[in-house]
Amino acid sequence: MCGRFAFYSPAEAAVQLFGVQGAFVADPRYNIAPTQYVVAVRDGEEGQREACSLRWGLIPFWAKDPSIGNRMINARAETVAEKPAYRNAFKHRRCVVLTDGFYEWRRDGSAKVPYFIITEGSEPFGLAALWETWTDKKTGEHIESTTLITTAADAYIEKLHHRMPVALDPALATSWLAGNDELIGAGAPDSPALTAWPVDRRVNNARNEGEDLIDAVGDPVER
């Protein structure tokens, strides 16, 4: 699964890498958690690439209240096309959540040790995702929300956990937005090369924030 990540690159880097049209503002964040708002890229109504802010935890359009989104932070690649909560968004509302790295926890005896995972080039990358709009029938309030797609871990990430988010470089991100389902299926193209290192357990608390959360407290995971 993917339950925590970071996005701290300057907005200009994301604009250049992912072809976003127009400026956007995003404060550096090192401990993004479910129900918080994330920065995503999607194709607008006129085909332009736009940045948007989405609540993490997809709320299906048919939901009675938004609390259902709290447990819909991840969608499994193997079933996303069939699940009632996701299948409509899978067909019509794809996006790419921007990140510089995500966290995963490896079990060490009775403890879970957090690791921070980035690309080997330390560049921002994308996470395959879906988005949806939910409307409160009583107030008319609109909430746009998102879920991250997860898949079986590759050989490297499997040393930490058996699942991982679908990581996309800019070219793969464009292909995902264009409707390429093969990116999340068996035999999908390789995700960007990743590297991971252990970090302090303070990241376990979503209230903690700051650049020091991604500092290594041990050696990187060997290949």
Q: Which residues are catalytic?
A: 2, 104
CA torsion sign, 31 to 100 to 154 to 180? positive
- The answer to whether residues 36 and 207 touch, using CB atoms and an 8 Å cutoff, is no
Q: How far apart are CA 29 and CA 106, in angstroms?
A: 23
Q: How far apart are the first and last CA of the chain?
A: 21
- For residues 66 and 41, the answer to whether their CB atoms sit within 8 Å is no
Helices 11-18 and 170-177: crossing angle in degrees, nearest 10, is 60
